[in-house]
Structure 1
Amino acid sequence: MNCASVNVETDCNQSAIAVAPWRIGVDVGGTFTDLVLADGGGTFFTFKAPTNLMNPTLGVLAAVGLAANGLGISIQTLLGHCRVFVHGTTIATNTVLERTGAVVGLLTTEGFRDALEIRRGFREDPWDHRTPFPEPLVPRHLRLPVRERMDKSGSPIRTPDPESIARALDTFRREGVTSIAICLLNSYRNDSHERICAELIRKSWPEVWLSVSADIAPVLGEYERTSTTVLNAYLSPRVVPYLLQLERDLRAHGLPYPLLLIQSNGGAASLEQLGRRAVMLALSGPAAGASALRTVAEMARRDNLLLMEIGGTSCDVTLMNGGEISMVDSLSIGDYHLTLPSVNIHSISGGGGTIARVDAGGLLSVGPHGAGARPGPACYGLGGEDPTITDAHLVLGRMRAGSFVDGLITLDPGLARAAIEARIAAPLGVDAIPAAAGIIRLLEQNLQHAIERVSVECGHDPRRFTLVAGGGAGGLHAVSVARALGCPVVYVPRLAGVFCAFGMCSTDVREVFLETWLKLLGRESTDALEREFSRLISTAKTRLATSGFSPLNMRFERSFDMRYVGQQWLLQVPADSCCVRSVRADFEARHQRQFGHYQPDGQIEIVHLRLVGIVRLPPVRRPDLPLTQIAPVPYELRSVYLDSASGFRMMPVYNADDMHPGQKVSGPALVEERNTTILIGSGDRLEIDCSDNFLIHIAKAAE
């Protein structure tokens, strides 16, 4: 956007001047829709609107309206000066979990219609042999065979039989199918048979939604490819119309550029690029935390980070090691398998609205159910009777009673205490205070285990990492969890309460390109690998250029997916060089770290060549701010429950809006930011760095 910078006076409580052009990130959560506007001068403006679960578009437009009103301008002016509008949503995830997707029909190679139901046999809990897998998203009578065959090297044996396709389509029409998935054997080596089927379907049934595995997941593994393609077919009719309508509404209100969407890999892409690959939005929203983490790494000048992002319903954990975000090639949503590049996010039920219960055996548990936006925690006064994490903090004095988020919610400690007494304290035979403390302690144990899942279990020592607290509830738990993990430092960004929306303002555009290789390391020359990567780069440049990006702003990251011959699991190894010796050394080092051993003379197989095309948008970051030596002044003293050893303590409470870079606070203390609260323990020391964020030095880490 080549418009001149425009100064817009604001009459909102974030008194500042917004300088155009700006970027906007919108994250639709289960409770609130967060909007962050990053202007041309590096200043951030934040807004929250209630999420409309029935029609998320209304929540997004409401947030846009709040932002325009807060800046004292029209919606047309706000959107007209927006250079990048990035959106993240949980609609894809919720569609799978709630089983509200399309009626899907599956066309597959004759003899393989049950691959989707047979699965792989792996279980999240290897000791649980009784819990059944969920029903397949496509029942057997809608998994129909095509008479065709392609051999393992991609050579056609039998072309698709049109009559078998026609019979399947007749059945699909009778059964009310609205979306079709095509997944034929060995199409990852040669997709010509899938293209024949797709062309026949488009001619005879042009209005049906169509997902072709060669477009969605051209990877080795019949079940993984089928499951991913079926999920794409299941999601597309629900997700794509919503996004198309949202883009139309935004464009009608003045947005001059296409809507960008956060993918599971943490990068953004246009709706035009993702229209046929809605499954790429499976982790849209939470994956934006990876972009925010990269920005935090620059501001904190640290590149070993553990992100604990706690919102209203869940806690999402992500690891950055040496500046590299942990990624995976597969994930599971509701026990349905997806094979696609994703940020490695481990999620647990652990948000402010997570419900605590006492079961029939007298055991206290936290989650997995949440109170949602309505009725929400008991303290909201909207009819909720179940005690939540928010209620526990309120009873312990860690949160301030009264109105929040511009009057959208009100916290009533009397209602919180009544819910905990009735549902937790009475069944356990204790007072409300130890009951509330027990809820928090149990949650923080769960948070600790979640972080160990992505660190210790993957060969990383948490004591080398800085714990980053994101989300509205992250600051209340970060110090305690860091102490248990041994993390020496906690970092809380000013925008922690809108962390994912903040990340969307600084995200890159990312496209992943995959080529199946299936050859032993050493049998192919370096030149052959370089030629194949050159071809992938050419394809990537063409794809990115269609979205309007200049080749001058593109960069590419190469890697191999590798394994020992006969091994099930793949390791991703950067392909900075295609030299066989250096690739082997890198693979062996990563295998040693991940599994504790490697085979010095083992045969190594390259399964995939992977290329990530990246368009790096200019970073959004204000210049370093001057430091002050003036001591901050608390606005009140409050009786707050610190821990079981200290009980209630009178501690100072600071208003974060009155605190500036260079100021320091010793614990115990509370710091109240507009969208989050930070609890500092005894002996801990908080300082505000030159990026205007909160750095907490932990007094003593657990041994």
Structure 2
Amino acid sequence: MPMWCWGGCGPAAYADGSVNIHPELAYKAISEHVAHPLGLTVEGAAIGIIRLAEQNMLHAMERTSSERGVNPQALTLVACGGAGALHGVAVARLLGCRSVFVPRLAGVFCAFGMCNSNIRHDLIQSCMVELSDNTLARISEQVAEREGEQRARLLASFSNEAIVLDCFLELRYQGQQWTVRVPFFGRTDTVQTLRHRFEEEFSSIYGYVQERNQVQIVAFHLIGKGRFPVIALEAAEASAESPQASNTRSVWIGPRTGFVDARVFSPSKLHPGSTIIGPAVIEELTTTILIGAADVLLVDEGGNYSIQLSISELLIFTEN
């Protein structure tokens, strides 16, 4: 059995020895359940699995970018999660992005964010009334009352200065199913300002407005937030030394490059300012970063990874 790797964990202990990788079991599973039934080599079957997974990731990214009118080629792809950094560069190429950003704590990014996120209370109250001076006055009173309740709830854990209250109205044209959410500033808003705000947002979504149709208030949405202090990360000391690879191993980079002997780096050997030209693998504690041929990885002052994709590789990958 060849000892190859797809850019992920090497055939050895992982996560400081807490997890043991058994490549022979993966090889056997792919051989029996995928390669043999389809008449493929084990390597070809494994490559197909990876490309199919990355294609699914591509479609998910397209649904939140190009299908909403956003050009992903002008953006940086942020790769998080235990496997996000492994596939980030390949998916970015498929999207046409020029750069990828991998947080140092990518593998625990969601948990880190959850533990440091602001506390939030949402209150949604149905109204189902026409937008008029009388109904707007009543809703303004209800919102003011609910704001007092939200503030009192948050004051149990936060100072008054750390509390933020935002209110939105869910509006729609009469007879329509879906609502459009617009900011609501209480008694300072009028029927005219709210209708203008609603129709601007409606037009940006659907491309037209219904000037003669009645606007309805379906609900108001009051959001109360208790803000924690911003986390201040100490910048690590920069180093001018060239990073040294801990070892090399055969890694499948992509459909054009195929298998190459890629350098493998440990994050303990990397410092702010460290630059690596791919193909290479970075074995972080909670994730694995794969960079393609001629891609350039730079470690920033926070220990995060910025990857600039090779233009020539990007064009060839996109054409294929």
Q: Please, what TM-score do these two structures have when normalized by structure 2?
A: 0.87
Correspondence list, 1:674-689, <5 A: 674-689=285-300
TM-superposed deviation, 1:552: 3.1
CA-to-aligned-CA distance 1:342-388 (integer Å, 9 cap, x gap)? xxxxxxxxxxxxxxxxxxxxxxxxxxxxxxxxxxxxxxxxxxxxxxx
Counterparts of 2:248 and 2:9 in 1: how far apart (Å)?
13
Q: Cα gap change, 1:490/1:679 in structure 2, threshold over 3 Å: closer, same or farther?
A: same
TM-superposed deviation, 1:507: 0.8
Partner in structure 2 of residue 553 of structure 1: 162
TM-superposed deviation, 1:574: 2.2
TM-superposed deviation, 1:534: 1.6
CA contact (8 A) 1:397 1:641 kept: yes
TM-superposed deviation, 1:403: 1.3
Counterparts of 1:629 and 1:589 in 2: how far apart (Å)?
52
Counterparts of 1:431 and 1:590 in 2: how far apart (Å)?
53
Partner in structure 2 of residue 657 of structure 1: 268
Partner in structure 2 of residue 146 of structure 1: none
Partner in structure 1 of residue 148 of structure 2: 538
CA-to-aligned-CA distance 1:293-342 (integer Å, 9 cap, x gap)? xxxxxxxxxxxxxxxxxxxxxxxxxxxxxxxxxxxxxxxxxxxxxxxxxx
CA-to-aligned-CA distance 1:559-616 (integer Å, 9 cap, x gap)? 1112121111122222256344443344334334433444344432221111111100
Name the SS for the 1:441 alignment partner. Answer: helix
Partner in structure 2 of residue 613 of structure 1: 224
Counterparts of 1:400 and 1:640 in 2: how far apart (Å)?
10
Name the SS for the 1:643 alignment partner. Answer: coil
Counterparts of 1:663 and 1:643 in 2: how far apart (Å)?
24
Partner in structure 2 of residue 584 of structure 1: 195
Q: Cα gap change, 1:585/1:698 in structure 2, threshold over 3 Å: closer, same or farther?
A: farther
CA-to-aligned-CA distance 1:9-51 (integer Å, 9 cap, x gap)? xxxxxxxxxxxxxxxxxxxxxxxxxxxxxxxxxxxxxxxxxxx
2:87 matches 1:489 = no
CA contact (8 A) 1:660 1:692 kept: yes
Name the aligned partner's letter for residue 473 of structure 1: A
Partner in structure 2 of residue 463 of structure 1: 73
CA-to-aligned-CA distance 1:377-406 (integer Å, 9 cap, x gap)? xxxxxxxxxxxxxxxx96435421111234
Partner in structure 2 of residue 437 of structure 1: 47
Specify every segment of 5 or more residues in structure 1 that has no aligned partner in the other structure, as ranges: 1-392
Name the SS for the 2:202 alignment partner. Answer: helix
CA-to-aligned-CA distance 1:135-166 (integer Å, 9 cap, x gap)? xxxxxxxxxxxxxxxxxxxxxxxxxxxxxxxx
Q: Cα gap change, 1:555/1:397 in structure 2, threshold over 3 Å: closer, same or farther?
A: closer
TM-superposed deviation, 1:439: 0.1
Partner in structure 2 of residue 36 of structure 1: none
Name the SS for the 2:231 alignment partner. Answer: coil
Identify which of 258, 283, 286 aligns with 1:672.
283
RMSD over aligned Cα atoms: 2.4
TM-superposed deviation, 1:424: 0.9
CA contact (8 A) 2:124 2:219 kept: yes
CA-to-aligned-CA distance 1:93-144 (integer Å, 9 cap, x gap)? xxxxxxxxxxxxxxxxxxxxxxxxxxxxxxxxxxxxxxxxxxxxxxxxxxxx
Q: Cα gap change, 1:551/1:441 in structure 2, threshold over 3 Å: closer, same or farther?
A: same
Partner in structure 2 of residue 427 of structure 1: 37
Partner in structure 1 of residue 59 of structure 2: 449
Paired residue total: 310
Counterparts of 1:394 and 1:458 in 2: how far apart (Å)?
39
Percent identity (aligned): 37
Identify which of 490, 494, 501 aligns with 2:111.
501
Specify every segment of 5 or more residues in structure 2 that has no aligned partner in the other structure, as ranges: none
Q: Cα gap change, 1:475/1:542 in structure 2, threshold over 3 Å: closer, same or farther?
A: same
Name the aligned partner's letter for residue 166 of structure 2: E
Correspondence list, 1:297-376, <5 A: none
TM-superposed deviation, 1:441: 0.3
TM-superposed deviation, 1:491: 1.3
TM-superposed deviation, 1:678: 0.4
TM-superposed deviation, 1:511: 0.5
Name the aligned partner's letter for residue 651 of structure 1: A
Name the SS for the 2:157 alignment partner. Answer: coil
TM-superposed deviation, 1:462: 2.6
Identify which of 90, 104, 113 aligns with 1:480.
90
CA contact (8 A) 1:634 1:653 kept: yes
CA contact (8 A) 2:82 2:288 kept: yes
Counterparts of 2:144 and 2:27 in 1: how far apart (Å)?
64
TM-superposed deviation, 1:525: 7.4
CA contact (8 A) 1:496 1:675 kept: yes
Name the SS for the 1:560 alignment partner. Answer: strand
Q: Please, what TM-score do these two structures have when normalized by structure 1?
A: 0.42
Q: Cα gap change, 1:599/1:483 in structure 2, threshold over 3 Å: closer, same or farther?
A: farther
TM-superposed deviation, 1:660: 1.1
Counterparts of 1:628 and 1:581 in 2: how far apart (Å)?
59
Q: Cα gap change, 1:662/1:512 in structure 2, threshold over 3 Å: closer, same or farther?
A: same
Name the SS for the 2:116 alignment partner. Answer: coil
Identify which of 513, 521, 536 aligns with 2:123.
513
CA contact (8 A) 1:490 1:696 kept: yes
Identify which of 135, 157, 177 aligns with 1:568.
177
Counterparts of 2:191 and 2:65 in 1: how far apart (Å)?
29
Pick the structure with more helix per residue. Answer: 2
